[in-house]
């Protein structure tokens, strides 16, 4: 990886491939890491598709961040997340939304960074009892879950604004 080593994080085997694990505890609201990557126009995602597309993070109306070669490529989804994405300027950061102990996987809900015009979906096998089975864009989530996520301010404003 091209990132400087993250002394508080480790990449390890998890349920479905590799994931990002804490080496120390992160309190609620703490920054866990910045998602480094390369900005890509959405037409590049459509052209390349596959895993490349799956790994990209929405950053604006027309652009996504490809974390290829960086730790963000291992950021997995859970239907019961312990982290969220926040945008500061043009940069994306991952924050703890619960108190995360050491040696826990850092997990976001991909639906929270998938805007209304994203047609991308992903089968989910996260293993949580609340698993939705299919990850969709935010507006296709059950209404009660949308309200819960809005109340918790888990969905970045730039996603709901698109
Ligand atoms: Zn799930």
Q: What is the CATH number of the domain that holds 88?
A: 2.170.270.10
Rounded to the nearest angstrom, the distance between the alpha carbon of 127 and the centre of ligand 1 is 6
Say how many C-beta atoms besides its own lie within 10 A of residue 2's C-beta. 9
Rounded to the nearest angstrom, the distance between the alpha carbon of 129 and the centre of ligand 1 is 8
Per-residue pLDDT tens digits for 105-115: 999 999 999 99
Rounded to the nearest angstrom, the distance between the alpha carbon of 135 and the centre of ligand 1 is 7
Rounded to the nearest angstrom, the distance between the alpha carbon of 128 and the centre of ligand 1 is 6
Rounded to the nearest angstrom, the distance between the alpha carbon of 45 and the centre of ligand 1 is 24
In the chain the beta strands, taken as DSSP E runs, fall at 9-14, 17-22, 31-35, 38-41, 57-58, 63-66, 76-77, 83-88, 91-96, 107-108, 122-123, 134-135
**Residue 66 counted as domain residue:** yes
Per-residue pLDDT tens digits for 47-106: 999 999 999 999 999 999 999 999 999 999 999 999 999 999 999 999 999 999 999 999
pTM of the model: 0.94
Q: Total structural domains in the chain?
A: 1
**Residue 143 counted as domain residue:** yes
**Residue 152 counted as domain residue:** yes
Rounded to the nearest angstrom, the distance between the alpha carbon of 138 and the centre of ligand 1 is 14
Rounded to the nearest angstrom, the distance between the alpha carbon of 89 and the centre of ligand 1 is 30
**Residue 3 counted as domain residue:** no
Q: How confident is the model at residue 46 (pLDDT cuts 50, 70, 90)?
A: very high
Rounded to the nearest angstrom, the distance between the alpha carbon of 80 and the centre of ligand 1 is 7
Rounded to the nearest angstrom, the distance between the alpha carbon of 4 and the centre of ligand 1 is 31
Rounded to the nearest angstrom, the distance between the alpha carbon of 77 and the centre of ligand 1 is 7
Rounded to the nearest angstrom, the distance between the alpha carbon of 74 and the centre of ligand 1 is 16
Q: What is the mean pLDDT of residues 119-131?
A: 93
Q: Residue 87: its pLDDT value, please?
A: 95
Q: Residue 23: its pLDDT value, please?
A: 96
Q: Residue 48's domain spans which residues?
A: 9-161
Q: How confident is the model at residue 20 (pLDDT cuts 50, 70, 90)?
A: very high
Phi-psi region of 127 (alpha: psi -120 to 50; beta: other; left: phi over 0): left
């Amino acid at each position: 990886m091209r990132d400087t080593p993250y002394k508080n994080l480790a990449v390890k085997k998890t349920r479905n491939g590799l994931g990002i694990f804490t080496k120390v505890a992160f309190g609620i609201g703490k920054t866990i890491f910045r998602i480094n990557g390369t900005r890509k126009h959405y037409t590049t995602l459509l052209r390349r598709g596959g895993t490349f597309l799956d790994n990209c993070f929405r950053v604006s109306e027309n652009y996504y961040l490809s974390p290829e070669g960086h730790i963000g490529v291992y950021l997995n989804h859970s239907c019961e997340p312990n982290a969220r994405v926040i945008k500061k300027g043009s940069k994306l950061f991952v924050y703890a939304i619960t108190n995360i102990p050491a040696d826990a996987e850092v997990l976001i809900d991909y639906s929270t960074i998938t805007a209304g015009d994203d047609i991308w979906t992903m089968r989910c096998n996260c293993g949580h009892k609340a698993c939705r089975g299919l990850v969709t864009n935010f507006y296709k989530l059950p209404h009660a879950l949308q309200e819960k996520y809005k109340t918790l301010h888990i969905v970045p404003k730039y996603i709901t604004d698109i």
